Chain A
Amino acid sequence: MADGTMTAPGVSGSAKPAGDAMLAVQNLQAWYGESHILHGITFNVAAGEVVTLLGRNGAGKTSTLKSIMGIIGKRTGSIRFDGHDISRASSDKIARLGVAYCPEERGIFASLDVRENLMLPPEVRSGGLSLDQIFTLFPNLKERLRSQGTKLSGGEQQMLAIARILRTGARFLMLDEPTEGLAPVIIEQIGRTIARLKSEGFTILLVEQNFRFAATLADRFYVVEHGKIIDGFASSELQANMDKLHAYLGV
């Protein structure tokens, strides 16, 4: 490493969020059955921020989101969201506190049409996007309302997966690799959407392999490796950390 000043996990000066943390994860450990996959994840996300978890395949990014959502086998450590301890809560309770989750595999239901998929997640707060606002954001969906959910293209399915959690009124979104396997023009549209959501005050925790995509959106980055946060920096420090980052991600 060129500069040799490796920052302590998640605590380097500018890697701290500006205000109070909306989400604070401390020493999170998680298991799938017998296998220990997260080994002490510590990071936080402030209200209004876009924070990206970077890392190679299998580093533990998706497992981190799943642990926050409460849909992993077993977890220990502390997870605080909006003043609530959610480390032992069931996933439906966590969702009703205002955490919205868009899984990597998108989770579009084959036995539901597009409208039903869109209307599926119940409202957890008032002030969610109306259908009109959603159709302004994603005009494609309006034309496909009667189609079977899984008959949509990959890009449309991703839009649907994001759109349906915007309806719920949740202000904290966890998006797992929203650009995976999509065409550049669709990635651009999703990027614009995330930027717009940010400008409207949504807090977003993003998992991305596509570093170029994340670089344009995120306020801060954390690097996940072997189930731990090994580094973190703000987007203003991005240029200075480029070499390190290339080494972490192996790109």
Chain B
Amino acid sequence: MSINLQALSAQLLVGLINGSFYALLSLGLAVIFGMLNIINFAHGAVYMMGAFCAYFLLNIFGIGYWPALIIAPVLVGIFGMVMERTMLKWLAGLDNLYGLLLTFGLALIIQGVFQNYFGSSGLPYAIPDELQGGINLGFMFLPIYRGWVIVCSLVVCLATWYLIERTRLGAYLRAATENPTLVRAFGINVPRMITLTYGLGVGLAALAGVLSAPINQVRPLMGADLIIVVFAVVVIGGMGSIMGSIVTGFALGVIEGLTKYFYPEASNTVVFVLMVLVLLVKPTGLTGRAV
């Protein structure tokens, strides 16, 4: 079997794009799980809200893609923080099944509301003028917007990793993940940190939503479809590891892309097959700590 380089690199590109979204979303899930011990099933819904936020900003206020890249994650992040303050907060100390159920219910409500007003079909969101067109790399044609999504996601992921692993604020976060009681006894307002962390995780999902709007259109169920795969990514990578979720996110996107080229029939299931295999060998995930 001869390898068609053009088709292969096209699938690799799709894989990297999907990997960008997997990485951004699973990173947020990992940060939230570490700090709040909540498996945030509302993550797909807030991803969708990010995309809708960009859509509203453009069509109601005439605010374009570039400002939306900042404004939408901030607004959705604030929405997340309100959710944490009014609801998730009360689940602290309970089995994480409660958090899972609550966030799952919230996701259904949020998605239901959007479906009620916007149906299930996609709303268009145009690629910004600056990122139109593409570059011929010789072996393949790279649409500029797709290249931008990969680079942007990589930069944001690494910046988040740096923030958590290399800064003083990140040290607070890591310490509070280990022993919130003691960190609070040192004079740090841990409840406020928890709220901000949830806001950060939700904001990352909303950013992924804005990035995906020009590629995948804006649909109420765009997150529901994606989040299932993202949870498989998180299980494979291991909950609670920052770099683990970034690397696993991109790697699984690429593996999916390769599968699409070599054995397309398995492309939708390969992630779940890998998940089963990893769970059999290493139940805490590739980089995870025991929960």
Residues of chain A whose beta carbon lies under 8 Å from any beta carbon of chain B: 69-71, 90-92, 94-96, 101, 103, 107, 109-112, 116, 119-122, 124, 165, 168
Contacts and interface: CB of A to CB of B under 8 A. Distances in A.
Nearest to A107: B182
B164 to A, nearest CB: 10
Contacts, number: 61
B185 A119 contact: no
B185 A101 contact: yes
Contacts of B189: 92
Given A111-B175, A112-B171, A112-B174, A120 B181 contact: no
B177 interface: yes
Interface string B7-39: 000000000000000000000000000000000
A122 B182 contact: no
Contacts of A119: 168, 171
Contacts of B62: none
Nearest to A116: B171
B146 to A, nearest CB: 35
B162 to A, nearest CB: 14
Interface string B161-178: 000000010011011011
Given A92-B186, A92-B188, 14 more contacts: A94-B185, A95-B186, A109-B175, A110-B178, A111-B177, A111-B178, A112-B171, A112-B174, A116-B168, A116-B171, A119-B171, A120-B175, A168-B186, A168-B187
Interface in B220-243: none
B185 A109 contact: no
Most chain B Cβ neighbours within 10 Å, of A71, A90, A101, A109? A109
A121 B187 contact: yes
Given A107-B182, A111-B177, A95 B187 contact: yes
Given A71-B181, A103-B182, A119-B168, A109 B174 contact: yes
8 contacts: A70-B185, A71-B184, A91-B184, A92-B186, A116-B171, A120-B171, A120-B186, A124-B187
Contacts of B178: 109-111
B216 interface: no
B183 interface: yes
Contacts of B184: 71, 90-92, 95
B59 interface: no
Contacts of B187: 92, 95-96, 121-122, 124, 168
A65 B184 CA distance: 15
A52 to B, nearest CB: 21
Going nearest first, the 7 A-B pairs with the smallest beta carbon separation are A95-B187, A121-B186, A111-B174, A116-B171, A91-B185, A107-B182, A96-B187
Contacts of B183: 120
B58 to A, nearest CB: 41
B172 A107 contact: no
Contacts of B171: 112, 116, 119-120
Nearest to B187: A95
Contacts of B69: none
A112 B185 contact: no
Nearest to B174: A111
B276 to A, nearest CB: 29
A103 B186 CA distance: 11
